């Protein structure tokens, strides 16, 4: 094997220097600095050849003509954004190490939000959802890592900006638990403050379950407190919501600051005795822009011209109708979903009835998941004079465990069995052979009705639950 050693190879225009001798050969240059090409020249790879160890490494080629309309980015390029309206950058298909950067040329991202949209079902920061830049002067560099995280923002720099892309919520208030690794659940069983210390990005949103206080029983069972719920998987993960869930109803994005939480109290018990009034209604629960209405009180008793007609009261769910000492009349159950919202926050109470002779029974209170049952009309004396059952509540796993809440109270009977408690915290209707019970605390359950002595069942207090993603 021959060996040639030289100190210097002099330049010569118009010539070609070939180093190496075909496939399988290796050329090693041992020097601190190797200069290839000339200023303004081009270093080209042969067809089919690849390179490693030089070229782009975590940097981009900046395009100096600012973008003014929606466009599709290319791997390895950076873009200045000069928008007079909200525009979108569509990311290219992701591959490991792909890189794209943007910068707010006009410093107006706050006025004209800049949206970054992933390709197909790919993710940004571990979530299959658009990212939004909304801070004046904001810059960001996205690198595609893998299918789990997708595009990850590795730069978010500008001397005056403070926001982050996909800036998740950090908050205090209520009883806090961590579920499914990346999500927080705040449970309020009384009034309080949900205080956000960080958040402002597109995923600084929350889902909620807001249940008002349940209505109290009279002769009819109390209606359950209004039941309102939202669920968006990108915001709070995958869990089973009730049929009353509001599609895409998440609240936010939120900026740092306090948000008051109000938890409705269950209705106070109403005392017996002429003129046999309707039960009290529960009080509302609220968070941010969402309010659930208190459950309606159960209807009273109409036994003579001196006693008023006391139908079930309207509310989140309506109270059951009262008892009526007349073979030709019934006492109507109260309307649910009052005031009206979509989806409905509750159902109607069942009608009360006259059975035979002086045998009367109240209707069951309405509930989140079903109407209250009416007291059966007519029939033989004692066995048939049964109070209407409270409606069943709705089930949600917002806390990561399925729990049924907002059941209606059972109606009363003055001779036979009181109505069954509605599943989800409703109270049992009273009678000579069944004991009246209150609605369960922190379920919004309606109270059971009374028959002739004592007082109607108190409604159960409400509840507010807030769930959100706190990390990718």
Structural domains in the chain plus CATH codes: 61-155 (2.60.120.640), 167-472 (no CATH)
Say whether 62 sits in a helix, a strand or coil.
Answer: strand
Note down pLDDT in tens along the chain; length 472 residues: 556 665 655 655 555 666 555 666 666 666 666 666 665 556 666 666 655 544 455 679 999 999 999 999 999 999 999 988 889 999 999 999 999 999 999 988 877 888 899 999 899 888 787 887 877 788 899 999 999 999 998 875 443 333 344 568 899 999 999 999 889 999 999 999 999 987 766 778 999 999 999 999 999 999 999 999 999 887 888 899 999 999 778 898 888 899 999 999 999 998 766 677 889 999 999 999 999 999 999 998 876 655 666 789 999 999 999 877 665 567 899 999 999 999 999 999 999 887 666 778 899 999 999 999 998 765 444 456 789 999 999 999 999 999 999 999 999 988 888 999 999 999 999 998 889 999 999 999 999 999 876 788 999 999 999 999 988 7
Per-residue model confidence as pLDDT tens digits over 407-420: 999 999 888 889 99
Say whether 175 sits in a helix, a strand or coil.
Answer: strand
Overall pTM > 0.85: no
Interacting residues of 358 by C-beta distance below 8 A, sequence separation 6+: 325, 414
Half-sphere exposure of 276 (CA within 13 A, CB side): 29
Written as one string, the DSSP assignment of 190-218 is SSEEEEEEE--STT--BEEEEEPPPPPPS
Sheet of 257-262, strand order: 170-172, 192-198, 257-262, 285-287, 290-292
Nearest alpha-carbon partner for 294 in 410, 447, 435, 428: 447
DSSP annotation of 462 reads -
Per-residue model confidence as pLDDT tens digits over 162-178: 334 456 889 999 999 99
């Amino acid at each position: 094997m021959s060996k040639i050693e030289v100190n210097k190879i002099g330049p010569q225009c118009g010539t070609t220097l070939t180093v190496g001798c075909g496939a399988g050969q290796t050329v090693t240059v041992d020097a601190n600095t190797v200069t290839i090409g000339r200023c303004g020249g081009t270093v080209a790879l042969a067809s089919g050849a690849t390179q490693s160890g030089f070229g782009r490494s975590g940097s981009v080629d900046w395009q100096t003509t600012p973008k003014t309309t929606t466009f599709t980015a290319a791997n390895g390029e950076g873009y200045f954004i000069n928008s007079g309206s909200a525009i979108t950058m569509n990311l290219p298909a992701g591959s490991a190490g792909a890189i794209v950067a943007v910068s707010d040329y006009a410093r107006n991202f706050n006025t004209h939000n800049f949206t970054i949209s992933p390709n197909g079902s790919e993710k940004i920061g571990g979530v299959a959802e658009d990212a939004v830049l909304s801070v004046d002067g904001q810059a960001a560099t996205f690198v595609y890592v893998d299918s789990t995280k997708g595009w990850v923002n590795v730069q978010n720099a500008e001397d005056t900006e403070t926001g982050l892309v996909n800036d998740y919520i950090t908050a205090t208030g209520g009883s806090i638990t961590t579920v499914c690794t990346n999500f927080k659940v705040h449970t309020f069983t009384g009034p309080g403050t949900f205080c956000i210390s960080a958040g402002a990005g597109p995923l600084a949103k929350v889902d909620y379950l807001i249940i008002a206080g349940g209505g109290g029983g009279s002769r009819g069972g109390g209606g359950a407190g209004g039941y309102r719920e939202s669920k968006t998987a990108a915001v709070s993960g995958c869990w089973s919501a009730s049929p009353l869930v509001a599609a895409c109803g998440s609240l936010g994005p939120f900026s740092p600051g306090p948000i008051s939480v109000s938890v409705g109290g269950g209705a106070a018990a109403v005392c017996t005795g002429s003129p046999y009034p309707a039960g009290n209604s529960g009080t509302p629960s609220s968070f941010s822009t969402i309010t659930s209405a208190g459950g309606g009180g159960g209807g009273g008793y109409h036994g003579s011209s001196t006693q008023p007609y006391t139908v079930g009261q309207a509310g989140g769910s309506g109270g059951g109708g009262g008892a009526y000492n007349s073979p030709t009349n019934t006492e109507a159950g109260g309307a649910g979903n009052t005031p009206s919202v979509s989806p409905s926050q509750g159902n109607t109470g069942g009608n009360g009835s006259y059975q035979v002779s002086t045998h009367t029974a109240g209707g069951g209170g309405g509930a989140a998941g079903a109407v209250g049952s009416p007291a059966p009309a007519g029939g033989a004396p004692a066995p048939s004079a049964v109070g209407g059952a409270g409606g069943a509540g709705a089930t949600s796993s917002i806390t990561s465990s399925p729990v049924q809440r907002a059941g209606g109270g059972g109606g009363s009977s003055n001779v036979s069995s009181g109505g069954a408690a509605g599943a989800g915290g409703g109270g049992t209707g009273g009678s000579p052979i069944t004991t009246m019970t209150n609605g369960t605390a922190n379920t919004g359950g309606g109270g059971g009705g009374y028959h002739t002595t004592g007082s109607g069942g108190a409604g159960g207090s409400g509840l507010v639950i807030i769930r959100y993603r706190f990390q990718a």
